């Protein structure tokens, strides 16, 4: 049986261990441009088998929170290149998570104060994060407008464009398409947020169409072996749900299987919350089996509330990679601590979002 510390291949990427740093939004990129402090943050955690960046907007329209980074401007790409260069000097691997928030945004964050976009004009009962006069605060998201079908090729193009420049300009080792947590691609997937009557709404095949078009375009652009996809079948994050998630996501992974992706990244249960939801049962083993049955050979990555014991159990049951989020915030050397069964630092929730070095790069490593 593999251990957390054994190497593994994920598409074109050879990972030194199986502990992945999950994407963690930290709101420390003013004007959507990464900073030298962010480079320090990622370098500190470069012993992870793979690091997935904080969610990074593919376009100005894709922005949904204050001070999150982007991949659509020269200054952003140049700044990310400094991050990846520093990580590679430490022999680390890092992929960029490609993000369009859809309706989870606010007019203050959108180009020219326009409405956010969504599959249907249904507001999300959730909040986003704004910073005014240096102070961060949460506000209700703005009412979105429904995307016209003629705009959807442009969304696909934005993902493709961001992927190409992430790999060729910013020198990332690959990319992850964010299709989870109630953001744009997930909004198209799920019945409560997608009430369309065209080719992108109604049936499972239609609702999955945009996600699949995006992933195929990205894989074509940078190679399937450098492309991952993040899915969250039943999370209620950002006011999202589906009438039949088992059938929906087994269809999705079956369609992803032929693309020879690096990995499938699955959030089990509620993002950052319970792993098992009584009102939303889901068979994750069946999901993995559906992917394999359709010929999918990418690494299977599990995520949500994993400690060392649970992670080892997941590997024994067929997972290839285990993503850890909050433990990496407070433990830059999480892999070494797991290896030695050392105690973990406790993260300071008050410093998760926004701010500077405090609660970001000042957590101690083992002596």
CA atoms within 13 A on the CB side of 111: 5
| Residues 302-325 pLDDT 10s | 999 999 999 999 999 999 999 999
What's the pLDDT score for residue 165? 98
**Looking at beta carbons, which pairs linking 158-161 to residues 24 or more positions away fall under 8 Å?**
158/58, 158/59, 158/61, 158/62, 158/72, 158/100, 159/58, 159/98, 159/100, 159/214, 159/217, 159/218, 160/217, 160/218, 160/220, 160/221, 161/58, 161/72
* Look-up of token digits 């376009």: 59
Distance CA 197, CA 288 (A): 30
In order of their start, the domains of the chain are: 8-351 (3.20.20.70)
CA 143 to chain centroid, in Å, comes to: 24
Q: Taking the model in full, what pTM does it have? A: 0.98
Instruction: Please check the confidence at residue 348 and state whether its pLDDT lies above 90.
Output: yes
What's the pLDDT score for residue 136? 84
CA separation, residue 219 to residues 20, 258, 313 (Å): 21, 11, 31
Instruction: Please check the confidence at residue 367 and state whether its pLDDT lies above 90.
Output: no
Instruction: Please check the confidence at residue 200 and state whether its pLDDT lies above 90.
Output: yes
Confidence of residue 256 (pLDDT cuts 50, 70, 90): very high
| Residues 163-197 pLDDT 10s | 999 999 999 999 999 999 999 999 999 999 999 99
Can you name the residues that pair with 235 across neighbouring β-strands? none
CA atoms within 13 A on the CB side of 232: 30
Structure tokens given for 176: 């992850």
What's the pLDDT score for residue 132? 83
**DSSP letter string over 92-159?**
--EEEEEE--TTS--GGGSGGGPPPEESSS---S-EEEEEETTEEEEEEPPPPEEPPGGGHHHHHHHH
The whole-number average pLDDT for the span 200-225 is 98
* Segment (H or E) for 55: none
Indicate if 353 belongs to the active site: no
The whole-number average pLDDT for the span 34-51 is 98
Confidence of residue 203 (pLDDT cuts 50, 70, 90): very high
Distance CA 16, CA 92 (A): 9
Instruction: Please check the confidence at residue 335 and state whether its pLDDT lies above 90.
Output: yes
The catalytic position among 42, 72, 129, 183 is: 183
| Residues 121-161 pLDDT 10s | 999 999 999 988 778 889 999 999 999 999 999 999 999 99
CA separation, residue 101 to residues 6, 82, 186, 194 (Å): 35, 25, 9, 15
């Amino acid at each position: 049986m593999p251990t957390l510390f054994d190497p593994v291949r994920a598409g074109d990427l050879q990972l030194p261990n199986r502990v992945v740093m999950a994407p963690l939004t930290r709101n420390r990129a003013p004007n959507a441009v990464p900073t030298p402090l962010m480079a320090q943050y990622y370098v500190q955690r470069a012993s992870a088998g793979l690091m997935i960046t904080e969610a990074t907007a593919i376009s100005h329209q894709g922005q949904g929170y204050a001070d999150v980074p982007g991949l659509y401007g020269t200054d952003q790409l140049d700044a990310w290149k400094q991050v990846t260069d520093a990580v590679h000097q430490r022999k680390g691997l890092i992929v960029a998570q490609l993000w369009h928030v859809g309706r989870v945004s606010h007019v203050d964050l959108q180009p020219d104060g326009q409405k956010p976009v969504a599959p249907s004009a249904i507001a999300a009962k959730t909040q986003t994060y704004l910073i005014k006069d240096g102070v961060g605060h949460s506000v209700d998201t703005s009412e979105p407008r429904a995307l016209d079908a003629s705009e959807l090729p442009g969304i696909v193009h934005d993902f493709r464009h961001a992927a190409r420049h992430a790999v060729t300009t910013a020198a990332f080792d690959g990319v992850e398409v964010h299709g989870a947590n109630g953001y744009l691609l997930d909004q198209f997937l799920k019945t409560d947020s997608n009430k369309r009557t065209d080719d992108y709404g109604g049936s499972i095949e239609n609702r999955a169409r945009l996600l699949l078009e995006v992933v195929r375009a990205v894989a074509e652009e940078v190679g399937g072996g450098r492309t991952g996809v993040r899915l969250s079948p039943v999370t209620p994050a950002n006011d999202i749900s589906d009438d039949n998630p088992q059938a929906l996501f087994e269809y999705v992974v079956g369609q992803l299987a032929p693309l020879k992706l690096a990995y499938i990244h699955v959030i089990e249960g509620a993002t950052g919350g319970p792993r098992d939801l009584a009102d939303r049962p889901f068979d994750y083993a069946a999901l993995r089996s559906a992917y394999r049955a359709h010929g999918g050979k990418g690494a299977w990555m599990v995520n949500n509330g994993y400690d060392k014991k649970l992670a080892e159990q997941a590997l024994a049951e067929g997972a290839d990679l285990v993503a850890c989020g909050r433990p990496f915030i407070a433990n830059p050397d999480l892999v070494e601590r797991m290896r030695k069964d050392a105690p973990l630092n406790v993260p300071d929730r008050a410093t998760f979002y926004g701010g500077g070095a405090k609660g970001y790069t000042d957590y101690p490593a083992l002596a």
